[in-house]
Structure 1
Amino acid sequence: MSTRLVTRRVLTGVAMLVTVSVIVFAATQALPGDIARTILGQGATPEQLARLRAELGLDAPVWQQYLHWVSGLLSGNLGTSLASGTPVAELLRVRVVNSATVVLVALAITLPLGLLLGLLAARRAGSALDVGISGVVQVILSLPEFVVGILLVVLFGGGLFRLLPPTSPLDPRHLAWTQPRLLVLPIATMVLIALPHLTEATKTLLREELASDYVRWARLSGLGDARLLTRYALPNTWGPVAQVAGVTVNYLLGGVVAVETVFAFPGIGSELVSAVGSRDIVVVQVIAMGIATVLLATFLLADIVGLLSNPRLRRST
C-alpha cells in the first residue's frame, strides 16, 4: 500500500513538473519586446535581426523551441545568457550558493524555533505566553516580505541602532559566507517571513491532539503533561508537521526575490529581477525551473514523509 502511494506521488510530481515547464516556457515567450532587437539595439537592420533570430532558434516553431529547451535542461546544458553572453551555469553558480546559504541557515533557525514556540503556545493555551506569541505571529503575518526587510533596515541598519550594514553589496563572483555580517539582515528577514506560519500550524496541530479523547483519558490516568506530549501528542503530529515544514521551505523560497531585492543581495532572486528587466529569457527560464523543481521536490518529500509516518492518513488516502 505505501509503495503504491509513494509511486503515485512521484508520478504526480513528475507530471506537475512537466506542466510547470510548459507554463514557464509559455510565460517567457509572452514577455513583451523583441529579443533580437534588445541584443542588437534599435539601429539593427532587418537582415541582422533575421540572422540573429535564426542563430537563437527563434524562427523555429514554438513546440520545437520547447523540446530543444527541455532537452538542453535534461542534458545539463543551461544555455547562454542573452544579455551578457556568459554561460548560464557560470553566471548562476555563485548566486545559487549564496541564495542556498541564506535559505538553509534561515531554515535551520526557523524549524526548531517554530516548533518550540508552537509547543509552548499549545501547552499553555490561553496564557499570557500563548496570547503574546499569537499576537506577534499575527502582526508579522500581516506584513509583506519587503516591509519586514525595510523595518529591519530601519531598526538595525542605519536608523536607530546602526549595528549592521543596511545592504549586502557583495561581488556576485564571491561567496556570501566570506562576509557573514552582510548575511545577518537577509537571514533575519527570511526567518521572520517563515516562522509565523510554522509556529501557528504547530500550535494548532498540537492543540488538536491535546484536546482529543485518548489524550484526555491518558491525563485522567495520571500521566503528566510532559509524558502526554512525548508519548501521545508529538508522535501523532510528526507527519502533519513534516508537511508544514515543506510549506515553510515554500515561504522561504518565495521570499527570496523580495529579500534579495531589498538588500541588493547577489543571489538568484536579484538575478531573476535583473533578467526579467533585460528580457534575458534564458536566465529567467533556468531560474524559474530551478525554483519550481526545488519546491516540488520539497513538497513531494514532505508529503511522502507525512504518509509514511501517519497510519490514519495512509488508510484514508
Structure 2
Amino acid sequence: MKPPALRYVSGRLAVAAGLLGVLSLVVHVGVDLLPGDPATARLGPGSTPEQAEQARERLGLDEPLGQRYLEWAGGLLHGDLGTSAGGAPVAELLAGRLENTAVVAGLTVLLLVPGSLALGVALGRRAGRRLDGAGSAALLLTVAVPEFVVASVLALVVAGQLGWLPAASLVPAGEHPLAHPEVLVLPVLSLLVVSLAYASRVIRAQTASALRAPHVEFMRLNGIPERVILRQAVLPAVLPSAVQIWLVTAAGLMGGTVLVEMVFSYPGIGKLLVTSVESGDLPVVQALAMVMGALTLLATVAADLIATSVGRTRSA
C-alpha cells in the first residue's frame, strides 16, 4: 500500500476508533437514562424500598455514573461485556443470539446483492420509459413501508391464510437455524423486500447516470455491443455505490431485525433486546446497543474505504 493510501486508511481507522469511544459514552448514558428503575423492574411492583436499594447495590447502580462508565468501558477494551442482572456473562447470552441474527442477515444480503444489482441495472437501462416509471414508483412505495409491517402482512397471508410456512420462527434449543430452513423464509423475506427496494433505487440512479456519460455514447457510436458497454463502463461506475449500500445494509440488518424477530418469535438479538429492556437488565441492553452501533459504524467506514480505493484505482 502506498504511503498516501496508508495515511488515509490510518486516518479513517483513527476516526472510527474515536467515534467508537463517543458511541460507548452515548450508549452507556442513554441506556442509563431509560425511564423506570431497573431494580424495581427486576423485583416487581410489590418490592419494598429496602429490597430495591439492596438490588441497586448488588447491580452496582448505587455508584456514580462516571465510575460505572469507566468500569464498563474498561471491560469492553478487554472483551468483557459485563454480567447480566441474572448473574450470567453477557457475552454468553449474546453469542447464540448474535449467530441466529447473523444467519437471517447473511441470507438477506446473499439475496440482496444479485437481486438489487439486476433490478437496478434493468431499470436504469430503461430510465424515462414507462416500465422504469412503474418500477421506480413501486420501489419508492416499498421503501416507505417499515419491515415489521411487511412481516405482519406476510405472517397473516402466507402463514395464516395460506398455511404455506410456520407463523412462528421457533428454533429448538441447541439446534442451528439452518437445520430448519422453513422458519427462516418469512423473516428473510420481510427484511429483503425493503432492503431490495432501497438498494435497487440507488443502483438504478447510478446506472442511468453512467449511461449518459460521454464515453458511453462514444462507445455506442463505435458500434460496441451493449453487453460490453455494461461490463466495461457501467458496472465499474455502479459498483462502488452498490458496495457501500450493501455493506451499510448488512450492518443495519443486525439491528433492523428487532421488530421482525418479535413478529415471528425468532430467537435472535431483537427478542433478547426487548425482554432485557422490559426487565431492566441494563448490562445486556448496553452491550446490544454497543454491538449494533459498532457494526453499523465499522460497516460505514469499510464502505467508505472500499469506494475510495475503487475510485482511486479507476482514476489511476
With structure 1 as the length reference, what TM-score do the two structures score?
0.91
Question: Aligned partners of 1:207, 1:107: CA distance in 2, in Å?
Answer: 24
Q: Structure 1 residues 166 and 46, CA, compared in 2 at 3 Å: closer, same or farther?
A: closer
Deviation larger for 264-273 or 57-66:
57-66
1:67 aligned partner = 70
Contact 2:117 2:203 in 1 (8 A): yes
Question: Aligned partners of 1:37, 1:313: CA distance in 2, in Å?
Answer: 60
- The 5-angstrom pairing of residues 175-186 of structure 1 reads 175-186=176-187
1:141 aligned partner = 143
**Deviations, residues 64-118 of structure 1 (Å, cap 9, x unaligned):** 1001011112222222221x33222222222111100000011000011100111
Q: Structure 1 residues 139 and 75, CA, compared in 2 at 3 Å: closer, same or farther?
A: same
Structure 1, gaps ≥5 residues long: none
**Deviations, residues 141-189 of structure 1 (Å, cap 9, x unaligned):** 1211111111111221011x21001121334654322211111100111
Q: Structure 1 residues 140 and 197, CA, compared in 2 at 3 Å: closer, same or farther?
A: same
Question: Aligned partners of 1:131, 1:162: CA distance in 2, in Å?
Answer: 34
1:57 aligned partner = 60
Alignment partner of 1:123 is 2:86: no
Contact 1:246 1:298 in 2 (8 A): yes
Q: Structure 1 residues 211 and 24, CA, compared in 2 at 3 Å: closer, same or farther?
A: same
Identity within the alignment, %: 35
Letter matched to residue 121 of structure 1: L
Deviation larger for 90-99 or 38-47:
38-47
2:231 aligned partner = 230
- Per-residue deviation at 1:53? 2.9
2:92 aligned partner = 90
- Per-residue deviation at 1:251? 4.3
Contact 2:9 2:305 in 1 (8 A): yes
Structure 2, gaps ≥5 residues long: none
With structure 2 as the length reference, what TM-score do the two structures score?
0.91
Deviation larger for 231-240 or 12-21:
231-240
- Per-residue deviation at 1:128? 4.8
Contact 1:307 1:314 in 2 (8 A): no
Contact 1:193 1:255 in 2 (8 A): no
- Per-residue deviation at 1:58? 2.0
Contact 1:17 1:293 in 2 (8 A): yes
Question: How many pairs align?
Answer: 313
- The 5-angstrom pairing of residues 93-242 of structure 1 reads 93-159=95-161, 161-171=162-172, 173-242=174-243
**Deviations, residues 261-299 of structure 1 (Å, cap 9, x unaligned):** 111111001111111111111110111111111111111
Contact 2:42 2:280 in 1 (8 A): no
**Deviations, residues 28-79 of structure 1 (Å, cap 9, x unaligned):** 1112222233334455555544444333322222111001011112222222
Letter matched to residue 126 of structure 2: R
- Per-residue deviation at 1:25? 0.5
Letter matched to residue 166 of structure 2: P
Question: Aligned partners of 1:286, 1:11: CA distance in 2, in Å?
Answer: 22
Letter matched to residue 181 of structure 1: E
Letter matched to residue 307 of structure 1: T
- The 5-angstrom pairing of residues 4-83 of structure 1 reads 4-42=7-45, 44=47, 46-82=49-85
Letter matched to residue 233 of structure 1: V
1:295 aligned partner = 296
Letter matched to residue 117 of structure 2: L
**Deviations, residues 165-221 of structure 1 (Å, cap 9, x unaligned):** 112133465432221111110011111121011111011011101101121122222
Question: Aligned partners of 2:152, 2:139: CA distance in 1, in Å?
Answer: 18
